[in-house]
Amino acid sequence: MPIERLGSLSWRCALVALGLLLAGAAGAAQPALLVGTAWYPEQWPQSRWPKDLALMQAAHLDVVRVGEFAWSTMEPREGEYDFAWLDRAIAAAARHHIYVVIGTPTAAPPAWLTSKYPDTLRVAEDGTRAEHGNRQQFSFSSPRYRELARQLVTRLAVRYGHNPDVIGWQIDNELGPPSFDAETRRQFHAWLQRKYGNIASLNRHWTTAYWSQTYDSFDEVPMHSQDENPGLLLDFRHFVTDTWTSYVANQVTALRAYADPRQFITTNTTYWGNQFDQHILSRELDMAAWDEYVPDGHFVWLDQAVQQDLVRGYKNRDFWVMETQPAFVNWWPVNRALPPYAMRELAWQAVGHGANAVLYWQWRSALNGQEQYHGTLLGADGTPVPAYGVVREIAAQMARAAAAIAGTSPRSAVAMLQSYDSRWAIDFQRQQADFRVVKEFDAFYAPLERYAQSVDVISPDTPLTGYRLVVAPALNVLTAAEARHLADYVRAGGHLVLGPRSGMKDAYDALWPQRQPGPLTSLLGGRVEQYYALDSPVPLAGVLGSGQASIWAEALSVRDPAAKVLMRYGQSGQSSDGNGWLDGKPAVISRAVGKGSITYIGAWLDPALMQNVMDDSLRAAHVTPLVAGVSANVEVCERVGAGKRVWILINHGDSTHTIRLPSPAAPLLAGDDTARTASVTLAPHSIHVLEAPLQ
């Protein structure tokens, strides 16, 4: 269909949609909490669909995601579109009260496209051009690919943008690898030119006099993702972020031109993915979504909780778990199954941290294709496998709780700052191979989450008003603007804690010409005299207890009488255990600033000591737990809004615990949602969801 006709068509669709808008999924009102699955109708005969959908309905599933790899079915030949099957699939789902999210199929271009336009293929850093037969084989910067994608996505938007059963769009699938082809290099050079204006500025910020790297023109700049000048490496990541962002924006624009505003637009991201800055890319989207996997099958609740909070922080609002595993995956060395109780805990934890939907990947395995061994809800024979029963139970319970969840979200008094620039900068030059930024982040997160029971994970430029405590574990890149932002927060009465390696680099990944924490040194009233990579632990002790530092330790100094030393290395006469440079030197210092404070922790602390230090910061900031007196294996989540509080209590452990709630609440899962209780007994691995009015 010629593009100029799309406008009038959308008009007609709009009129039709008006009548249907309130009657999605065959008349049902969309629940506030949805459970669903990834369904690939194009892989199965249409005669099979009613059976699949009836089984989904019997499992209380509310939503299917379809289409995200179906380009060759939607456009079998260039310019020849076939959406009739998708029309039927959506209508069939609606007959079973199942909503649809359409994935734009651009993660898997058809063979005709890549054969006819080989320039759209991604080139790896070693120069190898991708071939057909896998997915993500396209170049993210290719103008031709974007144009082909735009044409297809526009047609999808025109056709389904007003469909009452289509509630949202997922753009592409797990955006990831950049391309190193000639066009990308040209765009990188143009990007650098826009950023720096003239080559002298680039040379200055990257200190290219080093090793004769001086460039005479932007065209001379190489394009690498590792083993390069740190300034170049950080700029390459920024360029990749901007390129993926414009890749997404291309499709968002196509969708928004024709789709109802009620249809959300998202993309699904990978766990702890760091190919690009998710905060920046998420600005294009209405909602964040992620694919939650526990590939080794061992669910560690804090490891997953932090990722839920990370994703919530992409847009500082509720999100979706767009994919999660029915028991096991197929891409780990040993694809152990999550036990049934862990599947339940994982799903409810997601909701507790702000997810409004949990979708299982996938419904039924294609009979052939690369993922035959992945966990599913149906077997190859088309009948339920054991995971189906667990998902049915989860979905039934979520259906009971959905009305209470409506209008609620997690709230936190504590924020952790997650900076992609810092993460990248440390990864470019670890200095201690075991200094894994995510691991260090987790080491700070665990005691904060255990005590406060709610932590926001946000980017360093997010407004901080309302947070009592802000913790930045390794804010290695600290721009001048971020430093001002953090200093303002402290001066306004906030409590800021910086972890090791903070405040070392500027926005260009160049060293600040003052010691750490760079532009926050005078506010801190102290500084890092020297940093040390450790290959064995070093003792440290002080008013917050005693313990060990490992992996990384910085010797601090106090330069302002108002700054206090809270911990020192080798204080207890064990200096021979130290590295010789750290003995007796300050390891943790803090300075009160009006009603606020700034604290610098110079070492990677052992877990017990980290708990002490974080407890101290939490107390100083007057943070209180949501529910007091809870044992370490019980996770407390709270969603607040619309005049109510919903508590989601999850016992991840093997023993029974009884906890007292701050106010009487109605249990929602037990079958009686009217009898209020202020005390809950949690059997091992049990989940309780309770609702109380907001007082």
Which amino acids are annotated catalytic? 174, 323
Nearer to ligand GAL, 294 or 609 (CB): 294
**Cα(42)–Cα(298) distance, rounded to whole angstroms?**
33
Q: Which residue's CB is nearer to ligand GAL, number 370 or number 656?
A: 370
C-beta closer to ligand GAL: residue 347 or 659:
347
Q: Which is nearer to ligand GAL, 320 or 361 (CB)?
A: 361
361 binds ligand GAL (CB under 6 A): yes
Yes or no: say if 335 and 299 are a contact pair by the CB < 8 Å rule: no
Instruction: Match 């149906």 to its residue by tokens.
Output: 378
Kindly report whether the peptide bond that precedes residue 164 is cis, defined as omega within 30 degrees of 0. Answer: no
Q: How far is the CB of 295 from ligand GAL (least distance, A)?
A: 8
293 touches ligand GAL by CB under 6 A: yes
CA–CA separation, 11 vs 23, rounded Å?
Answer: 19
Query: What is the nearest approach in angstroms of ligand GAL to the Cβ of residue 375?
Result: 8
Smallest separation (angstroms) from ligand GAL to the CB of 328? 9
d(CA 656, CA 529): 49
Member of 165, 235, 284, 291 binding ligand GAL (CB under 6 A): 291
Binding mask 310-339 for ligand GAL (x = CB under 6 A): -------------x-----x----------
Based on CB atoms, which residue is closest to ligand GAL, 12 or 298? 298
Smallest distance from the beta carbon of 360 to ligand GAL, in angstroms? 11
State the residue for tokens 């789902």: 93
Q: Measured from the CB of residue 323, what is the shortest distance to ligand GAL in angstroms?
A: 6
- For residues 430-448, b (16+ Cβ closer than 10 Å) or e, as one string? eebeebbbbebbbbbbbbb
- Report how far Cα 325 is from the mean position of its chain's Cα atoms: 17
- Of 306, 488, 563, 290, the closest CA to residue 415 belongs to 306
Q: How far apart are CA 394 and CA 78, in angstroms?
A: 43
Is residue 162 near ligand GAL by the rule CB under 6 A?
Answer: no
**CA–CA separation, 626 and 623 (whole Å):** 9
Half-sphere exposure of 378 (CA within 13 A, CB side): 22
Looking at the Cβ atoms of 266 and 397, the one nearer to ligand GAL is 266
Nearest-approach distance from CB 420 to ligand GAL, in angstroms? 20
Asked if 301 is part of the footprint of ligand GAL (rule: CB under 6 A), the reply reads no
Nearest approach in angstroms of CB 325 to ligand GAL is 6
441, 418 contact by CB (below 8 A):
yes
Q: Give 44 or 361: the residue with its C-beta nearer to ligand GAL.
A: 361
CA angle (300, 442, 295) in 5-degree steps: 40
Binding to ligand GAL by CB under 6 A, coded x per residue (else -) over 173-192, reads: xx------------------
Give SS3 for 389. Answer: helix
Would you count residue 479 as binding ligand GAL (CB under 6 A)?
A: no
Q: Say how far apart CA 69 and CA 172 lie, in whole Å.
A: 8
- If you write DSSP's letter for every residue of 165-201 in order, what string do you get? TEEEEE-SSS------SHHHHHHHHHHHHHHHSSHHH
Looking at residues 369 to 408 of the shown chain, list those that interact with ligand GAL (rule: CB under 6 A): 371, 374
Nearest alpha-carbon partner for 689 in 338, 322, 309, 351: 351
Closest CA to 139 of 130, 126, 152, 127: 130
List residues near ligand GAL by CB under 6 A. 173-174, 291, 293, 323, 329, 361, 371, 374
